[in-house]
């Protein structure tokens, strides 16, 4: 509807001959083209400071964005499954279209500048006015080129609806929006190069600026601090308004036993890292305590540098973890295991919670991905039957409350229901833990749009039983699995966001209500087997490794299951043996199958990385 107010997260789909224009609070305008699927995932705007955080996703179709100038720590991003477009005040379009090799993302810049990069990577290309760039389905970026007439016509075409270059909403002041056209790069306009990327922006500089970037002399103190602070962060460089700055991003975890926390703190400095007043982003950390608003602002600045805070461990009588992390777990991990709410960090900051509390024989286990706007949730109440014996029996429920990202309509909800027990056998803090467990679980679907069967349990179930825990720095899990019918275990795991659309399609279109009269057939057709996994982390993630083995029982002579496999890998970071880094991985299907040699169908890969200079790496695989 015209003049309808929408709030994030909202998902918008347009028809064949229809478009939608959205006026944001900062006077930026988004025009969504015909036959498009667009998500407003995050939008926050502070009218006093002018700070804004915009995170949008284009699933298909096209969008035109006219973005007012960004200040300070503001960010504005449009992402697809191919890549990310980041701006600081510009007019540009994104067209996600089909090609013979999969989806192709075109970025067309009409004013200002757009930074483009692959998903989860620092932008590596900067596209100026009148230029375009394409990102393939495998996130490979094309060369920057001039916008062609054919590409522009394709982008503007909306069928019977007004073209993309026709915007009816009153546009913001162009002098403010496109200040960089007359003044060079506007305040806060940045181009980044960090040690993790494979490209550098110094090649885009000329004259004295290039000389300054390439011949920057470090003091002995800076060399010392770089050598040792690399253990807790990353050094790099950045160009702001034509001036070269150094960067140091604190990104590390501290474990003090019962208490632990992680910091994420980017510092942009000139010649003196130890003089905060000379930092470019000094105000982000400058604390003032004069008035109540100053106090609240300072407390917010302090909290913003913490990525997470932890008290205890997941199976302790009291465990609390707040913030952003990638090891959410509920109960025994049958349905919510190693879930991550960091899929778009640091562009989007979330306050998630994972908690366990046991009081007087009654306990509760909780997992919420974002307290303020929960989407992925899990709850497991449990009881201790006999005082003094740590045998706990509980029930659990997990759910994705917003699988379609839309608050304006009634969405389907899916997840799992389970019951089971936990019995700690050995508890020696971080030295050794052995925990016996067993769970039985089903999936469910709640779809109010289905008037005949709005809620149903899907036609399948699962049973897991085994041991889990750790020995020193090695985490392990060994279990028997019995999986019948349509049941899917561990839906909410570390890669859930990548698979989310697939889960929506599966639960809405490929499941059916449980047929209790055919339980015996479900059991007869079920698969069962063993699953063993282990992982380790040494020296603050300088060396990490994993291994997993799944072996399902079946008639070896008649069939081979694809999920009878062995996978293993080890990663050594570049600050362990600088300037080298390495990754070694193997995948072996049909592992331990009789008469199948080990090297048959074995896949092995080794990647060696070499840091040529700051910002430039060479990889050989």
What CATH number is given to the structural domain containing 138?
2.60.120.1440
Residue corresponding to tokens 């300037």: 579
Q: Is the pLDDT of residue 230 over 80?
A: no
| Beta strands at 352-359 and 259-269: parallel, antiparallel or unpaired | unpaired
Domain membership of residue 560 (yes or no) is yes
Q: Report pLDDT digits (tens) over 250-269.
A: 888 887 878 999 988 888 88
Asked if residue 60 belongs to a domain, the reply is yes
Handedness of CA 447, 449, 455, 458 (dihedral sign): negative
Q: How far apart are CA 371 and CA 350, in angstroms?
A: 8
pLDDT exceeds 90 at position 450: no
Q: Which residue has the tokens 């679907």?
A: 445
Average pLDDT over residues 115-129: 76
Domain boundary among 517, 532, 547: 532
Query: Taking 60 as the threshold, does the pLDDT of residue 180 lie above it?
Result: no
**Does residue 263 contact residue 252 with C-beta atoms inside 8 Å?**
yes
**Domain presence at residue 58:** yes
- pLDDT the model gives residue 608: 92
Mean pLDDT of 110-139: 80
User: Is the predicted pLDDT of residue 196 greater than 50, yes or no?
Assistant: no
Cα 569 from Cα 545, distance rounded (Å)? 6
The string of pLDDT tens digits covering residues 124-134 is: 678 888 888 88
CA angle 368, 373, 375 (to 5 degrees): 55
CA distances from 218 to 212, 265, 496 (A): 12, 22, 43
**Whole-number pLDDT of residue 201:** 32
Q: Per DSSP, what are the bridge partners of residue 418?
A: 396, 441
For residue 502, what are the CA distances in angstroms to 354, 497, 507?
Answer: 26, 10, 9
Lowest mean pLDDT, pick from 160-174, 313-327, 580-594? 160-174
> Do 285 and 368 fall into the same domain?
no
Q: Confidence class of residue 561 from pLDDT cuts 50, 70 and 90? A: very low
Higher-pLDDT residue of 529, 235: 529
pLDDT at 232: 62
Number of domains within the chain = 4
* pLDDT of res. 174: 46
Any long-range contacts for 300-305 (C-beta under 8 Å, 24+ apart)? 304/349, 305/250, 305/263, 305/264, 305/265
323 in a structural domain: no
Is residue 311 in a domain? no
**For the ranges 120-129, 303-312, 571-580, the one whose mean pLDDT is highest:** 303-312
| Residue 142 three-state SS | coil
Which range has highest mean pLDDT (70-79, 181-190, 411-420)?
Answer: 411-420
Asked whether residue 429 carries a pLDDT value surpassing 60, the answer given is: yes
Question: pLDDT at position 408, please?
Answer: 55
Q: What is the pLDDT of residues 390-409, one digit of tens each?
A: 899 999 999 999 887 655 55
Name the token pair of 617. 């790496």
Work out the mean pLDDT of the chain and round it to a whole number: 80
Cis check: omega of the bond before 244, within 30 degrees of 0: no
pLDDT tier at 203, thresholds 50, 70, 90? very low
Co-location of 375 and 476 in the same domain: yes
Per-residue pLDDT at 380 exceeds 70: yes
Higher pLDDT, 351 or 170: 351
In terms of domains, do 395 and 428 share one? Answer: yes
The lowest-confidence range among 39-48, 123-132, 189-198, 365-374 is: 189-198
State how far the Cα of 581 lies from the Cα of 274, in Å rounded to an integer. 30
Cβ(566)–Cβ(549) below 8 Å: yes
For the whole prediction, is pTM greater than 0.75? no
Residues 339 and 474 placed together within one structural domain of the fold: yes
- What is the pLDDT at residue 318? 94
- What is d(CA 210, CA 499) in angstroms, rounded to the nearest whole number? 43
Give residues with Cβ within 8 angstroms of 86, minimum separation 6. Answer: 75, 76, 77, 114, 115, 116, 117, 123
pLDDT band at 315 (very low <50, low <70, confident <90, very high): confident
Kindly state the average pLDDT of the residues 63-92.
81
Residue 176 in this model has a pLDDT that exceeds 50: no
Among 472, 502, 532, identify where a domain stops.
532
The pLDDT value given to residue 214: 40
Say whether both 64 and 211 belong to one domain: no
Q: Tokens at residue 594, please? A: 């009789």
pLDDT mean over 234-245:
73
Q: Are residues 410 and 526 in the same domain?
A: yes
Asked whether residue 145 falls in the same domain as residue 75, the answer is yes
- Considering the domain boundaries, does residue 325 fall inside one? no
CA distance 543 to 102: 35
- Residue ranges making up the domain that contains 392: 332-532
Express each pLDDT in 492-549 by its tens digit. Answer: 998 898 888 889 889 988 999 999 898 888 888 888 888 899 988 887 678 889 898 8
Determine the pLDDT at residue 121: 65
Q: Are residues 473 and 489 in the same domain?
A: yes
Let me know whether 523 and 547 are in one domain. Answer: no
- The yes-or-no verdict on residue 215 having pLDDT over 50 is no
Q: What angle do CA 119, 124, 126 make, to 5 degrees?
A: 115
pLDDT of residue 560 exceeding 60, the answer is: no
Are 219 and 160 members of one domain?
A: no
Judge if the upstream peptide bond of residue 338 is cis by omega within 30 degrees of 0: no
Tally DSSP H helices, then E strands, for the chain.
Answer: 8, 36
Q: Is 241 within 8 Å of 185 (Cβ atoms)?
A: yes
Please say if the pLDDT value at position 93 is more than 50. Answer: yes
Regarding whether 445 and 589 lie in a shared domain, the answer is: no
Domain termination residue (choose one: 272, 291, 306): 306
What average pLDDT does range 57-86 have in this prediction?
Answer: 84
Per-residue confidence band for 328, with pLDDT thresholds at 50, 70 and 90: very high
Decide if 51 is inside a domain.
yes
Answer yes or no: is 178 within a domain.
no
CA dist list (Å): 5 to 21, 24, 221, 407, 410: 12, 10, 54, 12, 17
Whether residues 62 and 166 fall in one domain: yes
pLDDT for res 68: 83
Segment 29-49, tens digit of pLDDT: 889 998 889 888 888 888 777
């Amino acid at each position: 509807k015209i003049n309808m107010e929408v709030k994030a997260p909202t998902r918008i789909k347009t028809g064949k001959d229809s478009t939608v224009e959205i006026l944001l609070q900062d006077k930026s305008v988004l025009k969504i083209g015909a036959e498009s699927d667009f998500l407003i995932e995050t939008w926050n705007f502070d009218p006093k400071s002018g700070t804004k955080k915009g995170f949008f996703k284009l699933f298909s179709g096209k969008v035109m964005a006219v973005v007012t100038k960004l200040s300070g720590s503001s960010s504005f991003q449009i992402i697809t499954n191919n890549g990310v477009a980041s701006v600081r005040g510009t007019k540009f379009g994104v067209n996600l279209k089909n090609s013979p090799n999969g989806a192709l993302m075109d970025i067309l810049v009409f004013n200002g500048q757009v930074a483009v990069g692959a998903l989860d990577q620092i932008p590596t290309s900067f596209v100026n006015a009148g230029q375009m760039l394409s990102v393939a389905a495998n996130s490979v970026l094309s060369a920057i080129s001039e916008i062609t007439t054919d590409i522009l016509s394709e982008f503007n075409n909306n069928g019977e609806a007004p073209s993309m270059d026709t915007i009816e909403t009153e546009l913001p002041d162009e002098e403010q929006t496109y200040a960089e056209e007359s003044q060079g790069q506007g305040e806060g306009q940045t181009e980044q190069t960090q040690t993790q990327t494979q490209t550098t922006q110094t090649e885009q500089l000329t004259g004295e600026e290039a000389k300054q970037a390439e011949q920057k002399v470090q003091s002995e103190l800076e060399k010392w601090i770089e050598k040792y602070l690399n253990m807790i962060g990353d050094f790099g460089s950045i160009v702001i308004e034509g001036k070269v700055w150094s960067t140091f991003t604190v990104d590390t975890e501290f474990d003090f036993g019962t208490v632990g926390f992680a910091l994420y703190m980017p510092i942009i400095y000139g010649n003196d890292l130890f003089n905060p007043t000379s930092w470019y982003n000094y105000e982000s950390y400058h604390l003032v305590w004069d008035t109540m608003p100053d106090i609240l602002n300072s407390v917010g600045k302090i909290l913003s540098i913490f990525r997470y805070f932890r008290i205890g461990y997941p199976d302790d009588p009291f465990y609390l973890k707040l913030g952003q992390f990638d090891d959410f777990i509920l109960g025994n991990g049958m349905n919510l295991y190693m879930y991550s709410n960091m899929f778009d960090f640091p562009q989007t900051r979330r306050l998630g919670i994972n908690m366990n509390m046991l009081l007087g024989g009654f306990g509760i286990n909780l997992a919420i991905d974002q307290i303020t706007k929960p989407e992925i949730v899990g709850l497991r109440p449990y009881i201790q039957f006999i005082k003094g014996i740590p045998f706990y029996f509980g029930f659990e429920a997990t759910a994705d409350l917003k699988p379609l990202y839309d608050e304006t309509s009634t969405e389907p909800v899916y997840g799992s229901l389970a019951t089971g027990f936990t019995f700690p056998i050995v508890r020696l803090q971080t030295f050794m833990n052995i925990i016996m467990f067993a769970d039985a679980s089903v999936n469910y679907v709640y779809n109010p749009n289905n008037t005949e069967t709005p809620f149903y349990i899907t036609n399948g179930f699962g049973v897991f039983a085994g041991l889990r825990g750790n020995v020193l720095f090695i985490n392990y899990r060994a279990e028997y699995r019995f999986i019948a019918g349509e049941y899917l275990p561990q839906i909410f795991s570390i890669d859930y966001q990548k698979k989310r659309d697939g889960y929506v399609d599966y639960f809405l279109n490929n499941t059916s209500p449980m047929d209790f009269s055919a339980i015996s057939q479900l059991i007869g057709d079920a698969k069962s087997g063993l699953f063993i996994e282990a992982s380790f982390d040494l020296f603050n993630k300088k060396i990490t490794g994993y291994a997993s083995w799944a072996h399902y029982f079946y008639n070896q002579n008649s069939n081979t299951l694809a999920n009878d496999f062995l996978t293993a890998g080890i990663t050594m970071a570049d600050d362990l043996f600088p300037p080298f880094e390495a990754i070694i991985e193997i995948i072996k299907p049909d592992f331990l199958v009789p008469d199948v040699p080990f090297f048959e169908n074995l896949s092995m890969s080794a990647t060696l990385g070499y840091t040529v200079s700051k910002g430039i790496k060479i990889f050989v695989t």
